[in-house]
Amino acid sequence: MAPRALALIAGGVLAALTLGPIAAVLIRAGGLATLGPGDWQALRFTLWQAFLSALFSTVLAIPVARALARRRFRGRGLLVALMGAPFILPVIVAAMGLIAVFGQNGLVNLGLAALGLPRIDIYGLHGVVLAHVFFNLPLAVRMLLQGWLAIPAERFRLAASLGLGPRATWHVLEAPLIRRIAPGAFAVIFVICLTSFAVALTLGGGPRATTVELAIYQAMRFDFDLGRAAALALLQLALALVAGIVALRLSRTAGFGAGRDRVVPRWDGQGALARAGDALALLAAALFLLVPLASVVLRGLPGLAELGPQTWHAAGHSVSVALGSTALCLAWALPLANRRGELLSLAAIAISPLVLGTGYYLILRPLVNPFDLALVVTAMVNALMALPFALRILRPEAETVEAEYGRLRATLRLTPLAWLRVVWVPRLRRPIGFAAGLSAALAMGDLGVIALFADPDRATLPLQVYRLMGAYRMEAASGAALLLLALSLGLFWLFDRGGRVRADT
């Protein structure tokens, strides 16, 4: 049957595009002996920063999630939505925002200086961890919040009728929940932070704050030592696979925390101390997320006038990469929206874009000038990276359509093409739009594989922002970052909206 053949083709291409580069890396890697002491330092740093990032994200998420779960207030929905925003926020934009707040001349340092206290320096380990917490605290909050909201309302009623105090409520209801969800959240964030390139590129640096991925980039771009780059890629691959398997076991129930939001009536936590604590947690989280974003917007506005032709050119590249990547991602996701496909795509989650990029570089170099294919490879790698998310969104809905209308399809004798065109795609418009929006925003903001491949003529917008920052043209960089933010959110909005309008069901 045709759909089956399509699924086989999509699966085969997916396997070839992930396993091919890995094979290239394996063949080219000169063995671990090629790695110098600096590389082992990078490995230690990678593990340590991922550990700290996961720890802080998870621990700090607990009071925020608890407050969101048990308080009703105006703007609560907005705050919950804000917790989803970092997912589609370009890393370089967040880095600019964090620099504006915590950087050399940032708000925090201005405050510290006014108080006569020593300045803090954002570059290095704490900058990397700070940025990772910025991105992953909201993820941990969403995962925990989902768990909290899944506690049946009857339990809280029972606790209220028993007159349980805060301590007892904690022991009976909340602590078991945290013990169940927090390890999974920690593991997922740990894995995400292992494959962190853009954060380390912008806020790390120096031998003491280099991740393995950053070391791959430096080996390729600065030392042009392909053997060492391949050996590092191998190291990264092993790291991600081991951590990925552990995370998968720990987080089986955790998911990505994109569940429905609801407010469970609560009777506990009515004391003044509890109220103040919750208010403080929510305020701190909101400020931590909003102030950097607000400063990107405020600092970017005057910079918009400074956008040169190069930046516009890069923006054009980024939009085409985003659209190409989205099309490719959907072309994979639609035939693979089943259980087997989702398992297959999990392979892509463990593999870092830099490893794939290194592999593609090794494969392409004997054949063509790899730089000529910079944008194509970027679009392809981004499609691979977005695929697991797209499948997670599409699969349940696709299975519902199959379950609801599979029999009607048979009795009407619909051809596979008619089923796809007349029923399947129209019924799945919303999830397809949402998946396309995520995929486009992720590709738009990606600063990963493009850094390996780019030459001056083929920058994407995130890379252009990075270059402007590196040239200390902060005004222009801020303007470009704002443009990038607008384009990422705009693409997401367009696709997501496109899936919703007139999608009457």
Partner 1 sequence: MLTLEGVRIAMEGGALAADFSLSPGRRVAVLGASGAGKSTLLDAVAGFRALEAGRIRWDGQDLTGLPPDRRPVSILFQDGNLFPHLDLARNLGLALRPDGRRPDRAQAERIEGALARVGLQGLGARKPGTLSGGQQGRAALARVLLQARPILALDEPFAALGPALKAEMLELVREVAEGLGALVLMVTHDPGDAGLFADDIVLVADGAAHAPVPTGAFLADPPAAFRSYVGSPAPERG
* Residue numbers at the binding site for partner 1 (CB under 8 A): 404-405, 407-415, 417-419, 421-423, 426-427, 503-505
Provide the minimum distance between the beta carbon of 403 and partner 1 in the complex, in angstroms, as a whole number: 10
Minimum CB distance to partner 1, residue 432 (Å): 13
The residue behind tokens 């998870």 is 58
Of 255 and 416, the one with the shorter C-beta distance to partner 1 is 416
DSSP states along 211-274: -HHHHHHHHHHTS--HHHHHHHHHHHHHHHHHHHHHHHHHTTTTTT-----------S--SHHH
Closest distance of CB 2 from partner 1, Å:
12
The Cα–Cα gap between 229 and 225 comes to: 6
Cα–Cα distance, 366 to 448 (Å, whole number)? 22
CB nearer partner 1, residue 4 or residue 119: 4
Residue nearer to partner 1 on the CB measure, 271 or 396: 396
Q: Shortest gap between Cβ of 503 and partner 1 (angstroms)?
A: 8
**Nearest-approach distance from CB 121 to partner 1, in angstroms:** 57
With respect to partner 1, which residue has the nearer C-beta, 161 or 411?
411
Note the residue count of the chain. 505
CB of 425 to partner 1, least distance (A): 10
Contact 435, 450 (CB under 8 A): no
Q: Which residues contact 433 (CB under 8 A, 6 or more apart)?
A: 495, 496, 497, 498, 499, 500, 503
The nearer residue to partner 1, 107 or 420, going by C-beta atoms, is 420
Burial of 44 (0-12, 13-18, 19+ CB in 10 A): exposed
Q: CB count, 10 Å around CB of 223?
A: 11
Contacts of 373 (CB under 8 A, 6+ apart): 364, 453
User: Which lies closer to partner 1 via its Cβ, residue 279 or residue 417?
Assistant: 417
Between 262 and 413, CB nearer to partner 1: 413
Of the two residues 252 and 413, which places its CB atom closer to partner 1 in the complex? 413
In whole angstroms, the minimum distance from the beta carbon of 397 to partner 1 comes to 14
Q: How far is the CB of 416 from partner 1 (least distance, A)?
A: 10
Q: Which of 303, 288, 283, 286 has its CA nearest to residue 101? A: 288
Of the candidates 426, 429, 339, 327, the residue with the CA atom closest to the CA atom of residue 386: 327
Query: Which residue, 327, 322, 337, 297, is CA-closest to 442?
Result: 322
C-alpha dist (Å) from residue 180 to 59, 155, 185, 247, 426: 14, 17, 10, 14, 38
